[in-house]
Each structure stands twice: as C-alpha cells, then as structure tokens.
C-alpha cells in the first residue's frame, strides 16, 4: 500500500454530502494525502449525484487516481452510479469492518459514505482504514475477476 502522501484521491458528493465532504477534505489534508481532487458538488444546493459520480468514476477507472470517495445522503445512489463503470468497485460503507472488508476481499477502489447515517468521526475512521488496507488477493481475486459483465 502506498503511504498517504503518495496517494491520489478523487472525491465527490451531492447536496446531502456537502458538509461531510468538507470535513473529509480537512481530514485528508490532516493525514497528508498527496493529491486530492474535488469533483463537486461545491454547495449544499439540491443537485444530481450522477453529474459528479460519473466524472470521478471515469478518472479513477482511467488510473488518474488511486481511490475515489463518494458521499451522498444514503451513499446508495452515488455508489450505484460509480459502479456503472466497468473498472470501478464502489463499496457502500457504514462501519469500520465493512470498509476493511471492502478493500481486503473486494479490492474496492471507491468508498461510498452515507452522510445522513454516519458521524464525522466514523467517516474519518473508515477512510483511514480504506486507504491503508491492502487487497488480500488469493481466492478473492477469482471473485473480483468475475464482477465485470
């Protein structure tokens, strides 16, 4: 796993995820992540999550970023949108163990956070775990290889 200062992270949100994204951006700065690009939304005004999730997913899929972080009210819609991209494995996470398993067993490259259902500290903890956990490979690789259809 790369050290935090070498990671390239893409982040996006909808209106419901705007406040949590601001906290997450501060956290990424505090843990000294190398590169962070904000794909929007840039306000808490009502907006459509696909407008931000698709550009983020495309950039992660192309290898421009190591990981993506998506945030919306439930985490579902924005994750579903990202997962429409063949090279994306977006995992909706609401607790530390889910974030760990998403990396260890599923080789997730995008973490989706449900802003209306987690605290700021829970989000920071899951991000730390997600960004520092390696994929185990082995039997899990066979399963991950079967995901694209």
Of the listed 72, 85, 93, 140, which one is catalytic? 72
Q: Select which of 15, 27, 54, 105 is catalytic.
A: 105
Asked about 47 being catalytic, the answer comes back as no
Here the contacts of 100-107 (C-beta below 8 Å, separation 24 or greater) are: 100/129, 100/130, 100/133, 102/130, 103/129, 103/130, 103/133, 103/134, 103/135, 104/133, 104/134, 104/135, 104/136, 104/140, 105/136, 105/140, 105/143, 106/140, 106/143, 106/144, 107/135, 107/140, 107/141, 107/144
Give yes or no: 93 in active site: no
Active-site amino acid positions: 72, 105
């Amino acid at each position: 796993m790369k050290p935090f200062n070498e990671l390239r992270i893409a982040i996006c949100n909808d209106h419901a995820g705007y406040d949590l994204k601001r906290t997450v951006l501060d956290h990424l700065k505090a843990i000294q992540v190398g590169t962070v690009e904000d794909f929007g939304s840039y306000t808490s005004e009502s907006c459509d999550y696909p407008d931000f999730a698709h550009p983020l997913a495309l950039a992660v899929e192309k290898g421009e970023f190591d990981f993506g972080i998506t945030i919306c009210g439930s985490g579902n819609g924005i994750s579903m949108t990202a997962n429409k991209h063949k090279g994306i494995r977006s995992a909706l996470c609401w607790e530390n163990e889910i974030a760990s398993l998403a990396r260890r067993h599923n080789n997730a490259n995008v973490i989706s956070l449900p802003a209306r259902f987690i605290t700021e500290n829970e989000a920071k903890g899951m991000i730390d775990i997600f960004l520092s956990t390696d994929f185990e490979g082995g039997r899990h690789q066979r399963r991950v290889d079967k995901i694209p259809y």
